[in-house]
Every structure is written in C-alpha cells, then in structure tokens.
Amino acid sequence: MKLIECPRDAMQGFTAFIPTSVKTTYLNKLLEVGFDTLDFGSFVSPKAIPQMADTAEVLKGLDLSGTSTKLLSIVANRRGAEQATYFDEISYIGYPLSVSEIFQQRNTNKSISEALEEIEQIQNHISGKGKILVVYLSMAFGNPYDELYHPDRVSLLTEKLSDLGITIVAPSDTIGSSTPASIIQLFQQLLKDFPHIEFGAHLHSTPSTVIAKIEAAYQAGCLRFDGAIRGFGGCPMAKDELTGNLPTEQIIEYFERQSIDPNINKSAFEDAWQYAAQVFALH
C-alpha cells in the first residue's frame, strides 16, 4: 500500500500567501513521516496559482537526507514539465487530465485531445531523465456540467494513456460526487482492464463519507491513496464547503483497523499533524 501526502493540494487554494519558510518547515516535517510520495508543489503560472509561485525556492529548503519519500510536482503544460525536469530531487511529474471536456478547458485551456497530445510530448521529454509521469483523471466520477458520463468513458481515456506508456493513473473525485458503489465499479473495471497500470485514489469527501470511500476503493483493489492531513484542500468547484481531501489520519486509522501497517513514523506524523493546524489557521 502507498500513501501519497498532498500538501500542495491543501495549500494551493488559500488566498493568503503562506510564507516560503513555513511551507518548507511543514514539508520537512512531512518528509520525516515516511510517506511513499509527497505532492509538494507545482510548476504552473503564478497568475493562475499564486500560492505555488515559490515551488523552486521551497524545494531548495527541503532536507531529503535520510528519507525514502519521493517528491511529486504538478504541472499544467510542457513548459512546467521542463521546469520540473531540471530538478533531480523530483521523481514524479503529475498532469491533470479530465474526463470532462468543459473542465479540461477551464483547468488547462485545452481540449482533451490537445491535452493528450501534450501528455505525449511530456512523456517523450522526460523519457530517460529519471522521471515518471502520473496522470490525474479529474471528474472521473461525474461532473456538474450535465455532460455524458459513464465508467466506460474513463476506461477509454485510460486506454489512450496506456498507449502513451503511462503507468500511474489516479482517478479523481474532483467535486466529491462519488459514492462507494461508483468507486467500487470504476476501480474494479480499471484494475481488470489495465493490470499493468498502478491506479491511485484521489478522492474528495465530506466528513460523513470519508471511511466509506476509503473502504470502497480498498475493497475494489486500490492500494494507492492520496490524502491531506486534516482533510485540508479540495476543489473550489465543490458545492459543499465541507468537501475536502481525504484526511490522511483517517486513511491511516482505517488501514490499522484492517491490521495493515501503514509503515509510518507515528511520532513524526503527530508532529506534522499539530503543525498543520498552525499553518492553515494562520494563513
């Protein structure tokens, strides 16, 4: 099982700028926990996401000695991928593809077909450079635009990604619209049809449905989970303001109840959990 901590997702929606030193301190605490991967920042336009304008500076302040945690950076285009490729410390580059044509345009100013072409370019660019491209499939459980949706549409898009050599795909519940039944249906279908791809669950949820969604993904065979401490973050398009990322502490608690060792440093996690309250309360 892999735990992916997503402080980037938690921070990026905050309008007040979180000082670089605070981000660096928080990320260094997270690096001590033992997560598989840390989604730490993004190389995107500072006009689009001002909170992430200091990603390169933050990276310089990270202490990667003694940690096995790998770094993931989100990009929205080839230019961002080229920036991320400069840094040997980054193992994964994440790209947001969408099942929704409307959301793809709003998020990256491209059509789905144009985004697929860009994914191919990025995949070719990073080939042989020690990076792995992770594609997030936003609106993978439905969307608010009344566009046609069916799990088969997700499979079709995944097949195109597979043809491009993508090996990690994370279906994303962008607006918190998934249900345990739809989670099970989608992950079972994807895992059956694409056994060579590692699928991750990037789910958003209200507090009342967190455990049910974690359980559904796990029962369907998913072994890669994205979370954010205290459930901070989530998509601003969600109609319910309580909809956020899966709280990492609840993911850990769920697997411990299943007698599955999450393989983390609990003392370091508690320290990071406490510090997160300060970071997000003050900014």
At 30, which amino acid appears?
A: L
Which is more confidently placed, 176 or 85? 85
**Res 237 pLDDT > 80:** no
pLDDT in tens, 73-109: 999 999 999 999 999 999 999 999 999 999 999 989 9
The pLDDT of residue 238 is: 43
pLDDT in tens, 213-232: 999 999 999 999 999 999 98
The pLDDT of residue 35 is: 98
Distance CA 9, CA 271 (A): 20
C-alpha dihedral sign at 156, 161, 166, 172: negative
Residue 57 neighbours by CB distance under 10 Å: 13
Could you give the 3-state DSSP secondary structure of residue 22?
helix
Give this prediction's pTM: 0.94
CB 222 within 8 A of CB 200: yes
Residue 228 neighbours by CB distance under 10 Å: 25
CB 225 within 8 A of CB 246: yes
In the chain, what percentage of residues exceed pLDDT 70?
A: 96
The CATH architecture of the domain made up of 2-282 is: Alpha-Beta Barrel (3.20)
Distance of CA 115 to the CA centre of its chain: 18
CB 172 within 8 A of CB 138: yes
Distance CA 184, CA 195 (A): 16
Q: What does residue 20 show for φ and ψ, rounded to 5 degrees?
A: -55, -40
Provide the residue ranges of all domains of the chain, joining segments of one domain with +.
2-282
* Cα distances (angstroms) measured from residue 106 to each of 120, 214, 271: 21, 29, 37
